[in-house]
């Protein structure tokens, strides 16, 4: 049952099973918040056995930095071009630059699925500890990769090796998105998608309880009919956005119950409402709880990607016929665009009415209930239509301008400029002219460089910068004559980035001895699923007050020696940062001497190994 108390977060769903770590992941979302994306590597560092309670407090910024740096290059995130929100400025977003791929729907709509495919691995064949195991997980949700306070659905499917359901169309969705990208797609993303899609062709998954069969429907990458059944004895649609066109063209059949937002229902024609047995609004009190949200955003475009969503956002199509039930969950709303021009995904669950039926899904009416258990139906309120339909505004002009700019394939050319650097962002395609709209842009994190963009010619803007401030995210701001505005980010490839950029950035982010020690402990932790790092850091601090030499005490020394024997490559990767901090006199007392000893032992071991291999 979809119970209000049954809440499951994306972080819960992404975290690996106990004993596993993330090998690679691909995702697609409509809107994207980079702050939410930074939480994904944190989830990757959490074991399935860990409780979510207090994770945010325990996973302090330096540990997040390590998780982000270690895992960001394992992720490919496809998102609708022009719908990445502008976050507060943080240099850590640099690590996400290569992870985001903007895409456009082939039929002119939007790319709207919210899907994750993850491959977890356990064991390490190189160290010979045990045979490596792999496990796939697929998530199909109605929730974007944002911090929206909305009600959504999420379907989680884990791989099993003894037969089950097949999910090949999920891989085909991502293969189609490669062809829908704005600009050139990095080979890293192509290889990742092809690898995971190939694995999905033969993998089998555990069906949810009570489900006899499961079918994945991808809409919008090729021509096809609606997968929804044309006849049913009972039917329920839950959709935050509804439109007459859906009931006229996509599903011109009677619906027993329709649940949506008040403003969406108000725009339906009387003829459409005549096709609905009972219409309901969904009210959990969240809108009133937000108080003055409308006043805070009255000059923000309604389609701005940073505008928060509240209340109902789940999409469910449920049908019953002759003791059987068919349940569709995923990204598609009950609109014409969802089935005619967008890219969408719906997962069809098939099973007995006794487990997948409408009453089992949302609960029964109060007069039919025999217990006090809450259900989703408690928040259904019978809809009373206005005297005349309320016309919803068409897609705003700013929305069209944003999408036109987002289609420009822009790249950033990095070059020396005196003692520092400059990035020239350019596109061979012309910037469209927009009557009554001002366009400005600046690199993310450098709002002081805000610059007007003229239409009519190829896009080219040059910004002086430093290695730490350099950005592969370009912010665009559009302002209409009436003062309405919208902002969004365009991710792009930087060409000519110097090799030392990441090292300089890490040097700036880590900065001092205390933070370096915390980062070192995070990096050396041989079980990334264990996040008791603040306690470990605290114990080091206590040790420093007694012996004055935290860098050579436990747990640092123990972890260094263990890592030196088990995974010397990890320490080799740390050496450039150690050298930089040594130059700045920012290492903990005694660490430089300890590091030289460790490096000497590793060098001797490597020489011995090399000589043994040559004999």
As annotated, the residues of the chain forming the CATH 2.60.40 domain(s) are: 402-495
As annotated, the residues of the chain forming the CATH 3.30.870 domain(s) are: 10-210, 234-290+297-366+374-382
What residues form DSSP beta bridges with 72?
none
Q: What class does CATH assign to 402-495?
A: mainly beta
What is the structure's pLDDT at 394? 60
Output the CA torsion sign for 63, 68, 74, 79: positive
CA atoms lying within 13 Å on the CB side of residue 574: 26
What is the structure's pLDDT at 531? 34
Residues 292 and 297: their CA atoms lie apart, in Å, by 9
What is the structure's pLDDT at 369? 56
What is the structure's pLDDT at 12? 83
What is the structure's pLDDT at 204? 97
DSSP string, 465-518: E-TTT--SEEEEEEEETTS-EEEEEEE--EES--TTHHHHHHHHHH-SHHHHHH
What is the structure's pLDDT at 560? 82
What residues form DSSP beta bridges with 141?
114, 154
| 398 three-state secondary structure | helix
What is the structure's pLDDT at 395? 58
Q: Tokens standing for 615?
A: 């004999």
- Smallest Cα–Cα separation from 174: which of 183, 185, 161? 185
**CA 361 and chain centroid, separation:** 27
Residues 439 and 401: their CA atoms lie apart, in Å, by 9
What is the structure's pLDDT at 49? 46
Please check whether residue 183 is in contact with residue 425, taking contact to mean a CB–CB distance below 8 angstroms.
no
CATH code that applies to domain 234-290+297-366+374-382: 3.30.870
Residues 407 and 431: their CA atoms lie apart, in Å, by 10
**Which stretches of the chain score pLDDT less than 70?**
1-8, 45-63, 123-131, 285-298, 366-373, 393-395, 525-555, 606, 608-615
What is the structure's pLDDT at 155? 96
DSSP string, 324-375: EEEEEEES--BSHHHHHTSBEEEEEEEEEHHHHSHHHHH---GGG--S----
Q: Tokens standing for 228?
A: 């929804």
Q: What class does CATH assign to 10-210?
A: alpha beta
């Amino acid at each position: 049952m979809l119970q209000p108390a049954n809440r499951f977060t994306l972080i819960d769903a992404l975290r690996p099973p106990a004993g596993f770590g993330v090998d690679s992941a691909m995702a697609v979302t409509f809107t994207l918040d980079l702050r939410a994306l930074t939480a994904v590597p944190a989830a990757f560092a959490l074991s399935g056995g860990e409780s979510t309670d207090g994770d945010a407090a325990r996973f302090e910024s330096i540990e997040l930095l390590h998780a982000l740096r270690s895992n960001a290059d394992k992720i490919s995130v496809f998102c609708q071009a022009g719908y990445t929100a502008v976050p507060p400025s943080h240099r850590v977003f640099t690590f996400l630059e290569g992870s985001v791929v903007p895409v456009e729907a082939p039929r002119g709509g939007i790319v709207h699925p919210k899907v994750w495919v993850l491959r977890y691995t356990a064991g390490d064949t190189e160290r010979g500890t045990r045979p490596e195991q792999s496990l796939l997980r697929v998530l199909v949700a109605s929730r974007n990769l944002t911090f929206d306070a909305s009600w959504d659905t999420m379907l989680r499917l884990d791989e099993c090796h003894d037969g089950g359901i097949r999910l090949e169309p999920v891989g085909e969705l991502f293969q189609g998105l490669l062809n829908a990208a704005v600009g050139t797609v990095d080979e890293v993303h192509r290889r990742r998608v092809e690898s995971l899609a190939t694995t999905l062709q033969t993998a089998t998954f555990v069906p949810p309880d009570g489900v006899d069969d499961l079918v994945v429907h991808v809409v919008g990458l090729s021509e096809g009919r609606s997968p929804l059944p044309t006849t049913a004895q009972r039917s329920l649609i839950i959709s935050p956005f509804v439109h007459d066109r859906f009931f006229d063209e996509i599903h011109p059949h009677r619906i027993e119950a329709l649940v949506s937002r008040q403003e969406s229902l108000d725009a339906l024609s009387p003829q459409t409402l005549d096709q609905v047995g009972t219409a309901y609004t969904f009210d959990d009190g969240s809108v009133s709880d937000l108080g003055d949200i409308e006043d805070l955003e009255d000059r923000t475009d309604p389609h701005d990607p940073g505008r928060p969503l509240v209340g109902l956002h789940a999409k469910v199509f449920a049908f019953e016929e002759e003791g059987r039930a068919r349940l569709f969950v995923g990204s598609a709303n009950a609109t014409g665009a969802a089935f005619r021009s967008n890219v969408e995904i719906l997962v069809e669950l098939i099973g007995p009415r006794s487990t997948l039926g409408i009453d089992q899904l949302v609960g029964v009416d109060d007069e039919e209930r025999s217990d006090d258990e809450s259900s989703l139906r408690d928040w259904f309120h019978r809809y009373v239509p206005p005297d005349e339909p309320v016309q919803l505004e068409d897609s705003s002009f700013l929305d069209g301008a944003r999408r036109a700019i987002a289609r420009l394939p822009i790249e950033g050319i990095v070059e020396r400029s005196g003692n520092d650097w400059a990035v020239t962002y350019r596109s061979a395609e012309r910037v469209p002219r927009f009557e009554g709209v001002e366009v400005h842009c600046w690199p993310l994190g450098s709002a002081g460089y805000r610059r007007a963009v003229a239409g009519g010619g190829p896009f080219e803007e040059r910004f002086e910068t430093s290695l730490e401030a350099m950005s592969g995210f370009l912010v665009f701001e559009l302002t209409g004559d009436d003062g309405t505005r919208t902002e969004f980010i365009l991710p792009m490839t930087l060409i000519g980035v110097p090799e030392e950029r990441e090292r300089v950035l890490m040097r700036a982010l880590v900065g001092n001895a205390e933070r370096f020690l915390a980062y070192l402990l995070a990096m050396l932790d041989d079980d990334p699923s264990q996040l008791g790092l603040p306690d470990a850091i605290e114990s080091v601090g206590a040790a420093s007050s007694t012996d004055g030499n935290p860098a050579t005490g436990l747990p640092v020394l123990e972890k260094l020696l263990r890592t030196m024997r088990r995974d010397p490559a990890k320490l080799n990767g740390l050496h450039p940062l150690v050298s930089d901090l040594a130059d700045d006199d920012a290492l903990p007392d005694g660490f430089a001497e300890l590091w030289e000893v460790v490096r000497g032992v590793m060098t001797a071991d490597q020489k011995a190994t090399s000589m043994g291999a040559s004999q």
